[in-house]
């Protein structure tokens, strides 16, 4: 799972836990679980009694869970701090009898943005290859001048630049996200 | 929200990691009959052992937890704001779109291409675009003369963009204020 998706999942889970704990506390406090329960102390329940009588192994398990949690969190933090969605070096398809050809993503995006910037009406272009190197996805952002004929530019980008990118990677169905913007 | 998720996730991860380490330290300390090292858990234990569920402090903290959880859930589950309008494309592998600011820019250029229009404000929403053009002339009567040419120019530009779902367009021409 990608880091951003996992972050969202973890935050949703945490939010859900907080909401459920808060709601349960409010219900218990207001007598929703019975007025007798509301007049009990926080530890006067079966779970607390069980932990009290089985403390030796329950706390040992808690420490083990704490260790697993700490290790998982270290991994999560490392992913958060160093992860990137950029694709690594791409191996081009073709026969391997005479060696393999590898392509640095920046070589492709550099050539592509230079080509696009030479198009009439283009103010700037940015590109990056994201995802797995075996099945990358190209994300292009092209900023045009305000008076540019955008449909013509769009067709030219589709027929030339995007076709060139697909040809370079030997993948006629390379997924491409093209964002057209207009400069102020 | 995606930008905020990373620092939030980092905070959550750090807090969970700290809880994991504190549990290990305190369990080992208790097993060795050593006094609490990081947190005064016996104080908390005695407080919880004598505090009833119907106490105000429980209600307040439960409400705080519920509110924090609901706010976090609402923020995470809210659909992201649409910032791009898909363009008609002939192949499935290409996801082409015009950004909201791009649409605003090209419509602004279309409006100001009319002689007498000095500026235009464009607000792009998910299904709607509002264009307010300002003309050099004073008075509403003079401004109304610009309405049709501006509308036609902006409508023509919007129609030419080949958007998959063109937003609804409203155009207004405002006279020079002073």
Provide block-wise average pLDDT over 10 residues at a time, chain B (178 residues).
83 94 93 91 92 94 97 91 89 94 95 92 92 87 88 95 94 83
Chain B nearest C-alpha distance from A93 (Å): 19
* Residue B164 sits in the same domain as residue B94: yes
Residues 6+ apart with CB under 8 A from B138: B175, B176
B106 to chain A: nearest residue by CA? Answer: A146
* Residue B131 sits in the same domain as residue B69: no
Chain A within 8 Å of B13 (Cβ-Cβ)?
A: yes
**Percent of chain B's residues with pLDDT above 70:** 98
The total number of structural domains that make up chain B: 2
Characterize B139-172 residue by residue with b for buried, 16 or more Cβ atoms within 10 angstroms of its Cβ, and e for exposed. eeeebeebeebbbebbbebbeebebeeebebebe
Specify the CATH number for A90-182; select among 1.10.645.10, 3.30.70.1350, 3.40.710.10, 1.10.10.10.
3.30.70.1350
User: Do the Cβ atoms of B58 and A25 come within 8 Å?
Assistant: yes
Q: State how far the Cα of B89 lies from the Cα of A153, in Å rounded to an integer.
A: 13
Q: ipTM of this model?
A: 0.71
What integer pLDDT is reported at residue B18 of this predicted model? 95
Among residues B60, B77, B94, which one ends one of the domains?
B77
CA distances from B87 to A18, A117, A166, B38, B131 (A): 41, 21, 20, 58, 21
Q: Where are the beta strands (DSSP E) in A56-183?
A: 90-91, 102-103, 122-130, 137-144, 176-182
What integer pLDDT is reported at residue A85 of this predicted model? 81
What integer pLDDT is reported at residue B129 of this predicted model? 95
Q: State how far the Cα of B90 lies from the Cα of A73, in Å rounded to an integer.
A: 45
Start-to-end CA distance of chain A, whole Å, equals: 38
User: Do the Cβ atoms of A22 and B8 come within 8 Å?
Assistant: no
Chain A within 8 Å of B76 (Cβ-Cβ)?
A: yes
* Residue B93 sits in the same domain as residue B119: yes
pTM listed for this prediction: 0.72
Chain A nearest C-alpha distance from B33 (Å): 13
* Residue B148 sits in the same domain as residue B106: yes
Q: State how far the Cα of B8 lies from the Cα of B68, in Å rounded to an integer.
A: 13
Provide block-wise average pLDDT over 10 residues at a time, chain A (184 residues).
83 96 95 89 88 88 94 91 84 78 92 96 95 91 93 94 94 94 90
Among residues B47, B77, B107, which one ends one of the domains?
B77
B15 to chain A: nearest residue by CA? Answer: A73
In this structure, chain A runs to a length of: 184
What integer pLDDT is reported at residue A87 of this predicted model? 86
Among residues B22, B50, B77, which one ends one of the domains?
B77
Average pLDDT for chain B: 91
What is the extent of the structural domain holding B99? 86-174
Q: Which residue of A3, A22, A40, A81 is the best one to mutate when testing the B interface, meaning the one whose CB has the most B CBs within 10 A?
A: A22
* Residue B139 sits in the same domain as residue B119: yes
CATH 3.30.70.1350 region(s) of chain A?
Answer: 90-182
């Amino acid at each position: 799972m990608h880091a951003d998706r996992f972050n969202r999942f973890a935050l949703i889970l945490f939010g859900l836990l907080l909401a459920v704990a808060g709601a349960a506390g409010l219900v218990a406090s207001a007598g929703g679980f019975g007025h007798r329960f509301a007049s009990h102390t926080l530890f006067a329940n079966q779970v607390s009694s069980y932990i009290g009588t089985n403390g030796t192994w329950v706390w040992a398990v808690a420490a083990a869970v704490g260790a697993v949690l700490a290790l998982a969190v270290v991994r999560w933090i490392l992913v958060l701090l160093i992860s990137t969605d950029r694709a690594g070096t791409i191996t081009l398809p073709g026969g391997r009898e005479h060696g393999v050809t590898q392509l640095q993503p920046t070589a492709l995006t550099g050539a592509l943005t230079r080509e696009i910037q030479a198009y009439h009406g283009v103010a700037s272009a940015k590109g990056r290859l994201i995802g797995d190197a075996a099945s990358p996805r190209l994300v292009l952002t092209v900023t045009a001048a305000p008076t540019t004929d955008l449909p013509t530019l769009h067709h030219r980008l589709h027929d030339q630049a995007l076709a060139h990118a697909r040809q370079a990677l030997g993948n006629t169905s390379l997924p491409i996200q093209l964002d057209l913007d207009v400069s102020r | 929200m995606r930008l905020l998720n990373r620092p939030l996730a980092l905070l959550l991860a750090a807090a969970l990691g700290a809880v994991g380490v504190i549990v290990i330290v305190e369990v080992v300390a208790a097993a060795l009959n050593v006094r609490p090292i990081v947190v005064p858990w016996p104080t908390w234990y005695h407080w919880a052992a004598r505090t009833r569920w119907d106490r105000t402090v429980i209600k307040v903290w439960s409400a705080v937890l519920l509110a924090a959880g609901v706010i976090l859930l609402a923020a995470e589950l809210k659909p992201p704001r649409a910032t791009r309008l898909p363009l008609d494309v002939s192949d499935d592998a290409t996801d082409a779109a015009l950004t909201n600011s791009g649409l605003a820019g090209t419509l602004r250029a279309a409006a100001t291409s009319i002689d007498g229009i000095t500026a235009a404000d464009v607000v792009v929403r998910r299904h709607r675009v509002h264009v307010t053009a300002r003309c050099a002339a004073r008075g509403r009567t003079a401004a109304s003369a610009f309405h049709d040419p501006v509308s036609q120019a902006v409508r023509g530009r919007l129609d030419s963009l080949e958007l998959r779902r063109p937003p609804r367009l409203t155009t207004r021409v405002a006279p020079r204020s002073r």
